[in-house]
Structure 1
Amino acid sequence: MQTQMAPPASVPNAFDTISYAIGESAIGDVLAARSQIGVCAILIGSDADALERDLGHCFPDKILVEDEAALRDDLATIARFIQMPGVGLDLPLDMRHGTPFQQQVWDVLRSIPCGATIRYTALARRLGQPNGARAVATACAANAIALGIPCHRVVRADGSLAGYRWGVERKRALLDKEATI
């Protein structure tokens, strides 16, 4: 009789690990997280513990490691962008953590210039889904890379501000700042 051995326990590799750090900005605390590919999360809030929990919900199957030294430059770049959006936010992004449709929405959002906005319905039409405004809003809500994927630039059909994962007041502050460039 032959006995089978259990497969060896999986050893975490670098692709299982996400490094993160929390800093401060003009619109609140900012958590930046990075995979081996690039920035996979920029979360904004008022409570560091809540940001860490949100990160855990975004990446439940990953090992999260706080690493201030590794994310120092990213946090500085993000804070500078919030203060001076005209400088741009040139960070490599890891957008693999979305559905194919979400990734399509996020790609279009990245093409919206700083200081401009787009309506949910117009974005849906651009994706070939004229009745897809609600799906676009859902994709925006699923975005974990605030500012890098600028879902704050999406507005209602009448131009008013609608829900924003990190609060409508933050959305207003970001758009007001961008309007001055």
Structure 2
Amino acid sequence: MQISSKAIPLPISNIDTDQIIPAKFLKQVDKLGYGKNLFYSWRYLDNGDSNPEFILNQPERSSAQILIAGNNFGCGSSREHAAWAVADYGIKAIISTQFADIFKGNAYNNGILPIELDKTSVDQLMQKSLDSANVTIEIDLESQEVSCDDINLRQIFDIHPFKKQCLMQGMDETEFLINLRPEIQAYENQRSIPV
């Protein structure tokens, strides 16, 4: 998995799941369609028009697949819909100094790579991306590296080997286990006790 993209810088700490996707939109049971309401309260004005001041509404950011966020991203409730909204919008990776644990797990299970870097690196990426919409960030999951030539940054990030394997294979934990069905069945057959 490799991502080369412009970034969406969002220099706000403690962005909770209700800010990511407000509760009033949690009415459907499938994962599609939530992206249009991502960061709804910031993205739209009271009359429903797009807020031209908000970063997601800037045309030069429309194809960005990397979100750079403040500390403690995804705190608040455990709603998986927050990860659904991020994924449905088209964001493939989020860079922050820290994620709320439940959001981090939901991100992995929805094909989003949550990357935790040190504050200095996140601040540098954030500032450069705020200064210019043309900054490109490269993420290589296999080598576990984030790089940005514009600021001469190369940083290794940590990821649990199982989470990395699932993302590399494009599957969540449940799909991974389902793919092990033949091995599980063979083990059960070997252990079966005659009645």
Higher RCO, Cα 8 Å, sep 6+: 2
TM more than 0.5: no
